[in-house]
Amino acid sequence: MSEVVTTHEVLRLQGLRKSYNIGLPTEAEVLHGVDFSLTRHDFAALVGPSGSGKSTLLNLLGLLDTPTAGELYLQGQATRNLDDEARTALRGRTIGFVFQFHHLIQAFTALENVMMPLLVAHGRPDADALARGRALLDAVGLSGCEDRKPSELSGGQQQRVAIARALVTRPALLLADEPTGNLDTKTAGGVFELFRRFNREYDCAVLIVTHDPRLSEACDRTLTLVDGQIVGDVNHPRNGR
């Protein structure tokens, strides 16, 4: 593999398998050897029917869970044998999450929520953290909402705060789980455009897990997962940058 490719490669999966209830009669393998990779420029969708293993795969990609077999390289680093502490640190540094139900911390303001990944890593916010938080809130169109609590924001606004939060560490990989699932079409379009923009501006690989065919077709690449295996990997050149 050439060096140029390595530097751009953010994520590579090799024969990734995941079983549950290992050793029990109910043991079941959900992922049967998944291989694919993402580069910094990728803007991909992961689609598949319910029960295909999308959520399981997403948890593995996000280092929230460990594979049973195979290896997952994040920025060239093998992750399967990392302990919880190291995985947590790597996760905090390189991965941004956006969930369907935004999951903001209710007790903190919008700005504090955005800065949270920096705060848990470095403690008291410095000028740089504040500037980054404000800039991102501004970028998602929420300047002026810094001091509002999540409960004072609309669903779309909360989701935008969550996106800003996912990007505050300048992650190499942004994972989004049905990010527009509970938003109306117009708001969903705005959120999608944000992903697009950050993919371009920050060189951040984006992987969106979705049921929505319109959303997946708007991405550059669609990975299709069926019964725990990647059965389709399609590029949509017309969307390309």
Partner 1 sequence: MWIETTIALKFLREGRTQTTLILVGIGVGVAVIVFVTALIVGLQQNIIGRTLGTQAHVRVLPPDELNHVQAPPVGVVQLLLEDKRPQRLRSINNWQAVRDVLDQLPGVKAVSPVISGPAFARRGGTNLSVALVGVDPSRYLKVIPVADDVVSGVFRVGAGDAVIGKLLAEDLGLRVGDKLRLQTGPGRITVVNVAGIFELGVRELDQRYVYLDHKQAESLLELPGGITVIDVTVKDIFAATDLATRIAGLTGLKAESWMQTNAQLVNALASQSMSTRMISFFVGLSVAFGIASVLSISIVQRTREIGILRAMGTRRSQMLRVFLVQGALLGLAGSALGALAGWGLVWVFNAFGPGLFYIPVSPLLVPAAMALATLTGIVSAAVPARRAARLDPVVAIRHV
- Closest contact distance (angstroms) between CB of 36 and partner 1 is 21
| 53 membership: H or E segment, kind and range | none
Taking Cα atoms as reference points, which of 196, 187, 192 lies closest to residue 156?
187
Number of Cβ within 10 Å of residue 205's Cβ equals 23
Contact (Cβ atoms closer than 8 angstroms) between residue 220 and residue 42 = yes
If the CB atoms of residues 117 and 228 are measured against partner 1, the closer one turns out to be 117
**Secondary structure in 3-state letters for 183-204:** CCHHHHHHHHHHHHHHHHHHCC
CB of 72 to partner 1, least distance (A): 15
Taking the least distance from each CB to partner 1, the nearer of 79 and 222 is: 79
Nearer to partner 1, 12 or 91 (CB): 91
Report d(CA 165, CA 167) in Å as an integer: 5
Nearer to partner 1, 128 or 233 (CB): 128
- Cβ at position 93, least distance to partner 1 in Å: 7
* Least Å from the CB of residue 6 to partner 1: 25
Q: Give the residue with the Cβ less far from partner 1, 22 or 105.
A: 105
For the chain, percent helix, then strand, then coil, each to nearest 5?
A: 40, 25, 35
Sheet containing 69-74: order of strands: 28-39, 9-20, 69-74, 77-78
The distance of closest approach from Cβ of residue 239 to partner 1 in the complex, given in angstroms and rounded to an integer, is: 29
Question: Which residues lie near partner 1 (CB under 8 A)?
Answer: 59, 62, 64-65, 84-85, 88-89, 91-93, 97, 99, 103-108, 116-117, 119-121, 123-124, 165, 169
From residue 236, alpha-carbon distances to 36, 48, 81 in Å are 17, 17, 35
